[in-house]
Structure 1
Amino acid sequence: MTGNTDVIVIGGGYAGVMAANRLTQRDDVTVTLINPRSTFVERIRLHQLVGGSHDAVVEYREVLADGVRLVVDTVTEIDAAGRGLTLATGGTVGYDYLVYAVGSGSADPSVPGAAEFAYPIAALEDAQRLRPVVAAASAEAPVTVVGSGPTGIETAAELAEAGRRVTLVCGEVLGPYLHRRGRRAVAGRLAELGVTVLQGPGARVTAVTRDAVHLGDGRELPSAVTIWTAGFGVPDLAARSGLSTDALGRLLTDETLTSVDDERIVAAGDSAAPSGLPLRMSCQAAMPLGARAADTVLSRIDGERPATLNHLFAGQCISLGRRAGIFQFAHRNDVALWFHIAGRSGAKIKEFVCKGTVKQLADEGRKPGAYGLHKVSGGAKRGQALQAERAAAPATADLGAAAAG
């Protein structure tokens, strides 16, 4: 391709900023980042916003390369055939390549009353709405956090450390990603903070009312504030625009993160489903995926074959209030190991990670192309999983044909 190339990145989170910054390493590429907010959101600190210890935002000038044009707006439709975008403000904009990095948010809860009476926390506006509600509640008012993943654990610990009466409703098990040893460490810290942890088959939420949470075993928990952290969803922009998505709505791509429908569209972050086998939703995955997406676009501009996904995971980091945390180490294919670091050391590691993610984005903005974690081998497990999927596909098709006959 000759002349200038216009690349638009939709979404200014961890993946989108990394992709936009990396794309500026070429002078013949014009990069535009479209995002509905004028500030960068540290999603991994949203529980701190609710607890009052951090505002969870950073100015884009601190993380975004000078060569990236920021447009504060929302994309309402992608016209892949015409290579154009429709904006919420009514305008349209064209592109040569598109990086789809719209991220994720709270899934619409199917539990009766949850959408009406429970507060989500997955987006900045959610946390900002919840913060004054928590602040206005008396210290004795019961707070219920629903969800057993990192967000639920972190929110429960943050509020309990601040003196709140917190119940964490886990459903089946506390911290399903964690190794059993890590899980014990987390449970111990939550007990120190006075958090009541409910788990097991009976601890599934069946309904939420204005002042209570109802469980599957018949228990009714008084709840002045109910916080919903169970499950994530993705925006439906790709599906509404006629692009192929998985069941959750993530854009279907090949292993180079290129849309299965259009080689001019590349996905990154939580909204990408490479080969129908998406990575765990996390900033740990989003930033390398953003770098990989940018490299794919640059390779296509040069007429070269893009490299394929080769992702490495290190584990999971969870804060347990301001004075404790845990880093759960994992195999590079994202399966938890027995080894973890907890307590004050765990808290220091978590804070190092939070600051480090912003620093990595800023470093890539100052020196585009410097980031290289996405090139580190994640091992053979993903390739094996892909081979198994492909081997099973013909058999599934044959069974479907037999059933139809």
Structure 2
Amino acid sequence: MARVVVIGAGYAGVMAANRLAAAGRSDVGVTVVNPRPDFVERVRLHEHAAGATHAVRPLSGLLHRDVRLRVATVETIAERSVRLDDGGALAFDHLLYAVGSTAAHDLPGAENAWHVADLDGAQALRTRLRQLPGGARVVVIGGGLTGIETSAEIAYHYPFLDVELVAPEVAAWLPDASRTRIARKLVDAGIVLRTGRRATAVHPDGVATDAGWLPSACTVWAGALAVPDLARRSGLPVAPDGRLRTDETLVCLGHPRIVGAGDAVAPPRHVAAHLRMSCQAAMPLGAHAADTVLALIRGERPVALSIGMVGQGISLGRRDGFAQATHRDDTPRRFTLSGRAAALVKERVCRFTLSSMRFPRAYRWRSGATPTVPAPTPTTVR
């Protein structure tokens, strides 16, 4: 039997494990290794932090019935096995690397801030928000999707708090009209926009910026994401930011038994330069990684990655939202949707992710860029 070990049970890992198990091959055994017995809906962590929902679901109800779950953390990856933090080890014939991402602490004093990059961070912020008295100031650092959604969610559920958003720009990657509309919606929600300034350090009682000091009873860091250093620690090839380097098919360079998926992998730019760390990219990456593993088991040549993006949905509290349609390369199109309709679209997308993982063989995605070079023929491994 081909032993497949999947490291990580996020969007990419669960999709990959379920797609492998649903292939119906009796000669393939799948084991998922994850630090907790739960699946975390990361797209809802800002909601979780504000108390709007509970972003945790038991993996027992999401993983395919033929997938084994090992609750542990992988400490190192060897040539044919992984060592676990509980003292055990798992041998594999194929490894699927899907360890995801978490908050990057690249701002001085970031340890003084809360975040929503993972469940522990969102839960800590949830607890802190409930402790704040009326009129307390909450400062959110970051004008990207996480900063926008988190500040809007907090303002919606805690109207008695003073919420401020600090960033050089809000939604800087979107067209001017979209940026203006989102900014207006945030202001209408009661959020003070401190744009044109950059946070330089976080302190327990406030935020230092290049335009002066901002007192804060609760600072939320919504900046860049980082990946675990497991691949680097294990001596595997990594990009400068620590992501696992793969070929066009998601096979790890120089390690034909290892396939990557999700936020923590770095495929070649000609097939993945447009893919941002997101659920929208993780799901097809996980499905493609599973197909690559099955091709390797059959001794066939895996196909090159091809993923096209669809759009960007932004929740602005429970009753408002904004959706920006995009081309396959994730550049904006002219079509946008706003208001209650956009909020409903975003909610449907969040629900669709779970249903897709439960029916992995039926999952399809939009094709993307055609590789400019053919995918190499991998070494056959069994």
TM over 0.5: yes
What is the alpha-carbon distance in structure 2 between the residues aligned to residue 194 and residue 150 of structure 1?
A: 18
The correspondence for 2:363, drawn from 371, 381, 387, is: 371
Amino acid at match of 2:98: A
Q: Distance in 1 between matches of 2:7 and 2:50?
A: 30
- 1:125 aligns with 120
- Give 1:206's aligned residue: 200
Report the Cα distance in structure 1 between the residues aligned to 2:77 and 2:233, rounded to whole angstroms: 8
Equivalent runs, 1:343-362 vs 2, <5 Å: 343-362=339-358
* 1:96 corresponds to which of 73, 93, 96: 93
**1:27-55 deviation per Cα after TM superposition (whole angstroms, max 9, x unaligned):** 21000000001110000000011110111
Offset at residue 139 of structure 1 (A): 2.4
Q: Is the Cα–Cα contact under 8 Å of residues 182 and 338 in structure 1 kept in the other structure?
A: no
Question: TM-score, normalising length from structure 2?
Answer: 0.93
Amino acid at match of 1:30: G
> Is 1:234 aligned to residue 224 of structure 2?
no
Task: Measure the CA separation in 2 of the matches of 1:177 and 1:58.
Answer: 32
Aligned to 2:235, the other structure's residue is in SS state: coil
Output one character per residue of 1:286-330: Cα deviation in whole Å (capped at 9) or x when no partner.
000000000001001111100100001001111000010111110
**AA aligned opposite 1:108:** H
- Given that 2:206 and 2:213 are in contact with CA atoms closer than 8 Å, whether structure 1 keeps it comes out as yes
* Unpaired stretches in structure 2, ≥5 consecutive residues: 375-382
Counterparts of 1:216-365 in structure 2 under 5 Å? 216-217=210-211, 219-275=212-268, 277=272, 279-364=275-360
One-letter code of the match for 1:212?
G
User: Any conservation in 2 of the 1:312–1:378 contact (CA below 8 Å)?
Assistant: yes
Structure 1 unaligned spans of 5+: 388-405
What amino acid sits opposite 1:169 in the alignment?
A: V
Taking structure 1 as the reference length, the TM-score comes to 0.88
Which residue identity lines up with residue 223 of structure 2 in the other structure? A
CA distance in 2, matches of 1:296, 1:134: 44
Letter in 1 for 2:194: L
CA drift at 1:148:
1.1
Secondary structure of the structure 1 residue equivalent to 2:363: coil
**How far has the Cα of 1:20 moved from its partner?**
0.1
Quick one: which of 4, 20, 26 aligns to 1:23? 20
Aligned partners of 1:177 and 1:71: how far apart in 2? 40
**Equivalent AA in structure 2 for residue 14 of structure 1:** Y
| Partner of residue 5, structure 1 | 2
> Residue 167 of structure 2 contacts residue 199 of structure 2 at CA under 8 Å; is this kept in 1?
no
What percentage of aligned pairs have identical amino acids?
Answer: 47
Pairwise CA RMSD of aligned residues?
1.4
1:76-134, CA deviations, whole angstroms, 9 ceiling, x for partnerless residues? 00002xx010000011110000000000000122x33222x111220101111111111
The alignment covers a number of residue pairs equal to 367
Deviation at 1:194, TM superposition (A): 1.0
Superposition misfits of 4+ residues, deviation over 6 angstroms: none
Between 1:175-184 and 1:326-335, the stretch displaced more is 175-184
Matched residue type, 1:38: P
- Is the 8 Å Cα contact of residues 248 and 267 (structure 2) preserved in structure 1? yes
Residue 103 of structure 1 aligns to a residue in which SS? coil
Alignment of 1:110-149 (within 5 A): 111-115=107-111, 117-149=112-144
Partner residue in 2 for 1:59: 58
Q: How does 1:143-182 map to 2 (within 5 A)?
A: 143-162=138-157, 163=159, 164-171=161-168, 173-182=169-178
CA deviation string 1:271-297 (max 9, x = no partner) = 010025552000000000000000001
**SS of aligned partner of 1:183:** helix
3-state DSSP class of the match of 2:263?
Answer: helix
Contact 2:250-2:305 within 8 A present in 1 as well: yes
Q: Is the 8 A contact 1:181 1:338 kept in 2?
A: no
Say if 1:62 and 1:362, in contact at 8 Å, map to a contact too.
no
Q: In 2, Cα distance between the equivalents of 1:72 and 1:322? A: 34
Counterpart-to-counterpart distance in 2, 1:60 and 1:178? 36
Q: How many angstroms apart in 1 are the aligned matches of 2:305 and 2:357?
A: 20
Preserved contact between residue 205 and residue 213 of structure 1 (Cα < 8 Å): yes
Q: Is the 8 A contact 1:268 1:293 kept in 2?
A: yes
Query: Is 10-19 or 178-187 further displaced after alignment?
Result: 178-187
**1:9 Cα offset (Å):** 0.3
C-alpha separation in 2, matches of 1:356 and 1:169: 32
Inter-partner Cα distance in structure 2 for 1:261 and 1:135: 50
Partner of 2:32: 33
Q: In 2, distance between residues paired with 1:337 and 1:139? A: 41
Amino acid at match of 1:288: P
Q: Deviations over 1:337-363 (max 9, x none)?
A: 232101000100011011111111112
